[in-house]
């Protein structure tokens, strides 16, 4: 795919996964879809929930990153990371799979934001379908890597598959997938006519009809994912939602909020090319957020969540947790 | 090691350097506070930035004719002006003007850095003094600039004290910054008056009058371009705008986003020094330089201007604001860069001068594509989009 040898290999590895396995991590699609097995969501519907790779393969992503970071930090790191992308493949090692087994955390807890998002939508009277193991990878990363031709080809396939299932509207949960489906594909696919919204937009529009109370009094801060705030342009919606929940006090960073939000250090595949630097940036971002005195960092991006959790761990901030906004809303509905 | 590995090692070393991080985190905090104050005090700047964006967008498409017009205006003002197609041509013109064995005092110029002008003149057998304090420190440290406006942003006061103590043979305490500044002033003072040639860049140039705008706070540019008998200015063609009025707007927006309400000095230079005070006979070289030479350099700029996405790199005013908002720059400083820094620096590396493709690729893939620099940029330059475009050119081999 890379004729020039100038694409950092960490990225060609991910790109190969998208084009050959139709998901970022190159693992089986059934694994990704397992979170929804008890929800009996219809596979054919005009409005579908788009779960995205990030949450569906969160464990795999996390194990992969943990492996990459270990290699990157070792003495021979600089050269080895270059080859890391190819070595699991060459050796036939399913690195993600191995690490998945040794990691304590299972896919159930990773997929909680997805389950909660579907529940929140259903409480708002919005019933969605889910393509399950047939949900395509949006392929957005291909665009950011610079493989625009691949992206255009992949985008056409995604569009065709969605159309063949009768899909008209998409509610996305991962900001990056949502932006890809809403903007990038509209630019690259002729006659693109899918209506794409982010979960937050849909929830913010219906939130006033609900009585929401968080189980306890809590200070939360909000981390705007880059794709959410500077790509999708959604600044007010998450704050509107948090503001509608009783018991939640929103405390925000001085400068680095909204459009000035600091990147978590995982953007455009950066974390696969510069794993250690990415971790340093995660720590820096977490420091800004923790300074607010919040007990919970709320965000809505699986990549950001992974990064922020890494940052918290590095800083040994055990008393702060990171949750997706969907989890917060679901918790506030239960009371 | 490959270019990428070498580069990655360099930025990781920087990222583990606590001093860089400390120096930058202080700089970022004060930059944000100062800029907010400046914009609050002069709120019209935001609207003016929109106007300047239009001026620049149009001027970038007309660089060649603007350069021609500026050359004519400067010649009309009895200066000399030249258009250099390449960096080599610019170095040749300047080399011929300077010759060897000269003493040169220089104002800070990123365009000069771009073509390694100082090194070239030194190799030719000249003695060159950088007079901007930060640049002077960098020169003496044998280092390279790490920020476009504050080249020594990564050097803490302890290192400056040690450096200056070494030069003067006198033990200078790091906490007395006033004394460190006074030391540099002493070291450079007499050079201005001994120098054969003064050199500068320009922040913006009006093509109609051929006027160079030189924005500064230290006063070194006034001395370096005022005291010696010859003033040579090297200007990238992207600095040209049609009128004097346009140039004032560009200047005001530049310094405001560079965190100043107003800078201490703005020099407007349109021709050599002259007087008609004795019998109305125009005589050149009254108190200022007898000769003014201005070199407008292309070196890939007119080609870059043709690219629909990458051309916006030329709108850059060099205010440096974006650098303070880049999360990677905050821990690596200018190591995330080539001649210019961060994502936009990748475009310069790829398109201007030597076309350093491998370095450009390394930089393009270091951009987080987070887009915060665009929020800061008065020209709304979309570095993330440019980096993705560069990646496309790299990946697809265009």
- Summarize pLDDT for B238-296 with one digit per residue, the tens: 999 999 999 999 999 999 999 999 999 999 999 999 999 999 999 999 999 999 999 99
- The two structure tokens encoding residue B8: 């990655």
Instruction: Order the strands of the B204-206 sheet from edge to edge.
Output: B240-241, B204-206, B211-216, B265-269
Neighbours of A42 (CB within 10 A): 12
Question: CA B24, B27, B28: angle at the middle one, nearest 5?
Answer: 85
**What is the pLDDT at residue A13?**
82
Please tell me which residue, B340 or A104, carries the higher pLDDT value.
Answer: B340
Domains contained in chain B, CATH given? 3-41+307-395 (no CATH), 62-301 (3.40.50.10420)
Q: What DSSP character marks residue B365? A: T
pLDDT band at A109 (very low <50, low <70, confident <90, very high): low
pLDDT band at B325 (very low <50, low <70, confident <90, very high): very high
- Judged against a pLDDT cut of 50, whether residue B320 lies above it is answered with yes
- Segment B225-238, tens digit of pLDDT: 999 999 999 999 99
- Judged against a pLDDT cut of 80, whether residue B384 lies above it is answered with yes
Cβ separation B365–A143 shorter than 8 A: no
- Judged against a pLDDT cut of 50, whether residue A106 lies above it is answered with no
Please tell me which residue, A99 or A133, carries the higher pLDDT value.
Answer: A133
- Judged against a pLDDT cut of 90, whether residue B26 lies above it is answered with no
Rounded to the nearest angstrom, the minimum Cα separation between A291 and chain B is 15
Mean pLDDT of the B157-161 span:
90
- Beta-carbon contacts of B291 under 8 Å, excluding residues fewer than 6 positions away, are B79, B80, B229, B230, B231, B272, B284, B285
Q: What gap in Å lies between CA A254 and CA A265, rounded to an integer?
A: 19
Q: What DSSP character marks residue A135? A: P
- Judged against a pLDDT cut of 70, whether residue B391 lies above it is answered with yes
**What is the pLDDT at residue B113?**
93
Dihedral, B64, B216, B320, B335 alpha carbons, nearest 10:
100
pTM score, whole prediction: 0.93
Q: Which residues of B touch A269 (CB under 8 A)?
A: 365
- Judged against a pLDDT cut of 70, whether residue B171 lies above it is answered with yes
Mean pLDDT of the B342-353 span:
94
How would you write B98-163 as a 3-class SS string? HCCCCEEEECCCHHHHHCCHHHHHHHCCCEEEECCHHHHHHHHHCCCCCCCCCCCCCCCHHHHHHH
Question: Which of A146, A153, A283 is the best residue to mutate to test the B interface, defined by the most B CB atoms within 10 Å of its own CB?
Answer: A146
Cβ separation A280–B397 shorter than 8 A: no
- Judged against a pLDDT cut of 70, whether residue A225 lies above it is answered with yes
Q: What gap in Å lies between CA A26 and CA A240, rounded to an integer?
A: 37
Q: What gap in Å lies between CA B262 and CA A4, rounded to an integer?
A: 48
Rounded to the nearest angstrom, the minimum Cα separation between B311 and chain A is 18
Q: Which residues of A touch B370 (CB under 8 A)?
A: 226, 230, 262-263, 267
**What is the pLDDT at residue A85?**
47
Neighbours of B170 (CB within 10 A): 10
- Segment A42-98, tens digit of pLDDT: 999 999 999 999 888 888 878 777 777 777 776 444 444 444 444 444 444 455 554
Q: What gap in Å lies between CA A326 and CA A241, rounded to an integer?
A: 10
The answer to whether the CB of A324 falls within 8 A of the CB of A225 is no
Name the percent of chain A lying above pLDDT 70.
87
**What is the pLDDT at residue B153?**
82
- Judged against a pLDDT cut of 90, whether residue B196 lies above it is answered with yes
Q: Across the strands, what pairs with B310? A: none
Q: What gap in Å lies between CA B148 and CA B321, rounded to an integer?
A: 10
**What is the pLDDT at residue A74?**
63
- The two structure tokens encoding residue A242: 């948090």
Domains contained in chain A, CATH given? 9-59+106-203 (1.20.1050), 209-333 (3.40.50.11810)
Nearest to A230 among B2, B12, B375 (CB): B375
Q: What gap in Å lies between CA B351 and CA B359, rounded to an integer?
A: 11
Of B69, B78, B44, B38, the closest CA to residue B244 belongs to B69
Question: CA A199, B383, B149: angle at the middle one, nearest 5?
Answer: 130
The answer to whether the CB of B90 falls within 8 A of the CB of B301 is no
The overall average pLDDT reported for chain B is 95
Cβ separation A230–B370 shorter than 8 A: yes
The answer to whether the CB of B86 falls within 8 A of the CB of B301 is no
Task: ipTM value, please give it.
Answer: 0.93
pLDDT band at A258 (very low <50, low <70, confident <90, very high): very high
- Judged against a pLDDT cut of 70, whether residue B135 lies above it is answered with yes
Restricting to B residues 309-328, those with a Cβ less than 8 Å away from any Cβ of A are 325, 327-328
- Beta-carbon contacts of A319 under 8 Å, excluding residues fewer than 6 positions away, are A295
Name the percent of chain B lying above pLDDT 70.
99
**What is the pLDDT at residue A103?**
43
**What is the pLDDT at residue A84?**
47
Neighbours of B210 (CB within 10 A): 24
Restricting to B residues 327-366, those with a Cβ less than 8 Å away from any Cβ of A are 327-328, 330-332, 357-358, 361, 364-366
Mean pLDDT of the B161-181 span:
94
Nearest to B32 among A11, A255, A269 (CB): A255
Of A252, A312, A259, A317, the closest CA to residue A282 belongs to A312
- Segment A148-204, tens digit of pLDDT: 999 999 999 999 999 999 999 999 999 999 999 999 999 999 999 999 999 999 999
């Amino acid at each position: 795919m890379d004729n020039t040898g100038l694409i950092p290999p960490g990225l060609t590895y991910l790109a190969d996964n998208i084009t050959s396995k139709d998901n970022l991590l190159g693992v089986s699609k059934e694994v990704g879809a397992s979170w929804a097995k008890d929800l009996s969501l219809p596979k054919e519907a005009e409005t579908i929930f788009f779960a995205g790779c990030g949450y569906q393969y969160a464990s795999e992503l996390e194990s992969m990153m943990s492996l990459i970071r270990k290699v990157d930090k070792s003495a021979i790191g600089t050269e080895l990371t270059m080859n890391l992308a190819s070595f699991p493949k060459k050796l036939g090692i399913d690195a993600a799979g191995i690490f998945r087994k040794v990691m304590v955390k299972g896919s159930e807890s990773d997929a909680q934001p997805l389950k909660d998002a579907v529940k929140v939508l259903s409480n708002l009277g919005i019933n969605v379908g889910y393509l399950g193991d047939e949900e395509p990878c949006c392929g957005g990363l291909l665009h950011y890597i610079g493989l625009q031709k691949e992206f255009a080809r992949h985008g056409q396939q995604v569009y065709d598959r969605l159309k063949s299932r009768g899909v008209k509207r998409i509610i996305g949960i991962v900001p990056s997938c949502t932006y890809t489906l809403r903007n990038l594909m509209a630019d690259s696919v002729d006659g693109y006519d899918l209506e794409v919204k982010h979960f937050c937009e849909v929830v913010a529009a219906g939130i006033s009809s609900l009585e929401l109370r968080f189980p306890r009094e809590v200070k939360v801060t909000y981390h705007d994912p880059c794709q959410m705030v500077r790509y999708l342009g959604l600044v007010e919606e998450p704050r509107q939602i948090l503001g509608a929940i009783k018991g939640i006090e929103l405390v925000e960073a001085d400068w680095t909020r909204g459009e000035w939000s600091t990147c978590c250090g995982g953007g455009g595949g950066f974390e696969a090319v510069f794993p250690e630097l990415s971790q340093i940036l995660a720590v820096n971002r977490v420091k800004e957020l923790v300074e607010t005195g919040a007990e919970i960092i709320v965000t809505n991006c699986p990549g950001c969540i992974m990064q922020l959790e890494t940052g918290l761990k590095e800083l040994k901030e055990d008393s702060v947790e990171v949750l997706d906004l969907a989890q917060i809303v679901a918790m506030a509905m239960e009371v | 090691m490959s270019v990428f590995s070498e580069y990655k090692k360099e930025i990781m070393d920087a990222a583990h350097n606590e001093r860089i991080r400390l120096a930058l985190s202080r700089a970022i905090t004060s930059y944000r506070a100062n800029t907010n104050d400046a914009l609050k005090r002069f709120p019209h700047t935001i609207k003016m930035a929109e106007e300047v964006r239009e001026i620049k967008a149009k001027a970038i498409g007309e660089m060649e004719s603007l350069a021609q017009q500026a050359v004519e205006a400067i010649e009309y003002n009895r200066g000399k002006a030249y258009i250099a197609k390449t960096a080599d041509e610019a170095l040749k013109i300047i080399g011929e003007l300077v010759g060897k064995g000269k003493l040169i005092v220089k104002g800070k110029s990123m365009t000069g850095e771009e073509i390694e002008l100082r090194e070239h003149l030194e190799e030719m057998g000249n003695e060159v003094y950088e007079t901007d304090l930060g640049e002077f420190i960098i020169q003496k440290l044998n280092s390279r600039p790490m920020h476009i406006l504050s080249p020594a942003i990564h050097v803490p006061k302890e290192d400056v004290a040690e450096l200056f103590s070494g030069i003067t043979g006198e033990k200078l305490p790091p906490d007395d910054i006033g004394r460190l500044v006074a030391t540099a002033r002493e070291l450079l003072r007499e050079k201005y008056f001994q120098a054969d040639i003064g050199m500068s860049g320009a922040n913006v140039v009006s093509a109609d009058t051929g006027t160079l705008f030189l924005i500064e706070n230290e006063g070194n540019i006034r001395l370096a371009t005022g005291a010696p008998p010859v003033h040579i200015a090297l200007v990238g063609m992207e600095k040209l705008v049609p009128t004097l009025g346009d140039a004032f707007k560009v200047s005001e927006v530049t310094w405001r986003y560079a965190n100043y309400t107003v800078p201490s000095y703005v020099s407007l230079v349109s021709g050599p020094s002259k007087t008609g005070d004795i019998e109305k006979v125009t005589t050149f070289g009254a108190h200022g330089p007898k000769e003014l030479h201005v070199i407008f350099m292309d070196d890939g700029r007119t080609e870059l201007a043709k690219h629909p996405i990458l051309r916006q790199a030329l709108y850059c005013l060099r205010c440096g604001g974006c650098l303070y908002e880049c999360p990677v720059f905050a821990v690596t400083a200018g190591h995330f860069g080539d001649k210019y820094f961060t994502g936009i620096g990748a475009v310069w590396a790829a398109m201007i001068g030597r076309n350093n493709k491998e370095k450009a690729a390394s930089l393009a893939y270091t951009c987080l594509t987070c887009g915060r620099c665009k929020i800061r940029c008065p020209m709304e330059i979309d570095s993330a989009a440019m980096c993705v475009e560069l990646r496309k050119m790299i990946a697809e081999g265009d």
